[in-house]
């Protein structure tokens, strides 16, 4: 029964429809869905019971297949709780669950590797936007970015983080209200930024050399087939809406996040283990020992193999050119870069 509070359930009735998605918090409260008939929950032996606002049992369920089947109390009316996703048990004493929220190509899996080395295991879940969940559990690293939609679920991100009992997830979330909900659960959010010039170059190289376009992605095929400045121009035209606008929106959100809980790590500083004094103070208030382990882990894991880095630096030409520079300024990336503290 220990997986009940680590699951997101789809709640509904075969006689009607889905009512919503719900998490059963360990304290007996419901998260994500609440109604006067479904206000709290408890276990009664092997039965899962939902209670109404008066504290009376309103429905009972027994485990079956991928979830729970039940009925309204005193009636035959059927109900179901189908499991959408269940997170793993991760023992991280003295540390809250962690969400690593990075600008794309700002070291997402480098930070994941460092956290694992520091004793905070990964759930192998990649969260995006408001409700995109890519479940990479059991998938080899080299397959992580190949057709991720085959492993994709759609679920509000704060419902997923509400199930976490230790460990960490990685994310590219550019919605402040989602980050606020996640923090309200006691989850530690680590934002990571990087020089936007290097992010653009990294995205260009990553897509060109490591991620082939899908068979029906004619625009993706088109820009890769060009040469020189023409390839860069086509890349920017095709990938502006696909990825670069997301980079810009995430930079804006991180800059606008004035929460006292905000912790923003700079990718360029991490390889020296530099978490920066204002962040160190906040992290030490949570767990001083872990803060030092994390700093050391960033040094130890820099350059190690990850799902997006082979572990061997390739001698590739610098793709930056006048076309990149013109887009960088026209798109507003240059201004955002300056606000992030990069020249």
Dist. CA 187–CA 131, nearest whole Å: 17
Model pLDDT, residue 311: 62
Q: Would you call 269 helix, strand, or coil by DSSP?
A: helix
**84-to-7, 38, 296 alpha-carbon distances in Å:** 7, 19, 37
Q: Would you call 306 helix, strand, or coil by DSSP?
A: strand
> Residue 68 is encoded by which pair of tokens?
């729970």
Task: Give the pairing type, strands 30-31 and 40-44.
Answer: unpaired
> Residue 169 is encoded by which pair of tokens?
């997830």
Question: What are the start-end ranges of the E strands in 112-266?
Answer: 122-128, 132-135, 152-154, 168-172, 188-193, 263-266
On whether the CB atoms of residues 81 and 48 are closer than 8 A, the answer is yes
Model pLDDT, residue 56: 97
Q: Would you call 336 helix, strand, or coil by DSSP?
A: helix
pLDDT tens by residue, 114-123: 999 999 999 9
**What sign has the CA pseudo-torsion 161, 166, 171, 177?**
positive
Model pLDDT, residue 1: 56
1 CB contacts (<8 Å, ≥6 apart)?
A: 43, 46
pLDDT tens by residue, 225-278: 999 999 999 999 999 998 999 999 999 999 999 999 999 999 999 999 999 999
Dist. CA 122–CA 124, nearest whole Å: 5
Model pLDDT, residue 312: 67
Q: Which stretches in the chain have pLDDT values below 70?
A: 1, 310-314
List beta partners, residue 134: 126, 152
Cα torsion 170, 176, 178, 181 to 10°: value is 110
Report the side by side order of strands in the sheet with 78-86. 30-31, 18-24, 7-12, 78-86, 67-72, 57-63, 47-51, 40-44
pTM: 0.93
Q: Would you call 122 helix, strand, or coil by DSSP?
A: strand
């Amino acid at each position: 029964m220990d997986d009940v509070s680590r699951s997101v359930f789809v709640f509904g009735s075969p006689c009607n429809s889905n009512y919503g998605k719900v998490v059963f918090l360990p304290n007996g409260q419901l998260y994500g869905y609440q109604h006067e008939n479904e206000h709290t929950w408890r276990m009664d032996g092997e039965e899962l019971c939902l209670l109404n606002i008066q504290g009376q049992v309103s429905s009972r369920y027994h485990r079956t297949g991928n979830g729970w089947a039940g009925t309204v109390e005193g009636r035959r009316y059927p109900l179901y709780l189908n499991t959408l996703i269940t997170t793993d048990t991760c023992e991280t004493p003295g540390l809250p669950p962690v969400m690593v929220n990075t600008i794309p190509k700002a070291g997402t899996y480098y930070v994941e590797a460092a956290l694992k080395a520091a004793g905070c295991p990964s759930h192998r879940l990649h969260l995006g936007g408001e409700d995109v969940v890519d479940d990479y559990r059991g998938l080899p690293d080299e397959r992580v970015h190949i057709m991720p939609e085959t492993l994709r679920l759609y679920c509000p991100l704060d419902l997923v983080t509400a199930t976490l009992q230790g460990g960490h997830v990685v994310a590219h979330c550019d919605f402040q209200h989602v980050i606020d909900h996640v923090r309200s659960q006691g989850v530690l959010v680590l934002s990571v930024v990087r020089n936007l010039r290097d992010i653009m170059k990294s995205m260009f190289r990553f897509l060109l050399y490591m991620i082939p376009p899908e068979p029906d992605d004619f625009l993706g095929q088109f820009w890769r087939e060009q040469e020189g400045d023409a390839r860069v121009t086509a890349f920017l035209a095709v990938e502006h809406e696909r990825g670069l606008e997301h980079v810009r929106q995430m930079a804006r959100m991180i800059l606008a996040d004035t929460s006292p809980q905000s912790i923003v790590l700079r990718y360029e500083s991490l390889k020296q283990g530099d978490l920066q004094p204002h962040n160190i103070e906040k992290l030490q208030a949570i767990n001083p020992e872990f803060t030092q382990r994390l700093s050391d882990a960033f040094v130890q894991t820099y350059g190690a193999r990850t799902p997006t880095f082979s572990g061997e630096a390739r001698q590739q030409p610098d793709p930056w050119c006048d076309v990149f520079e013109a887009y960088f300024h026209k798109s507003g990336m240059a201004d955002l870069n300056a606000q992030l503290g990069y020249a």
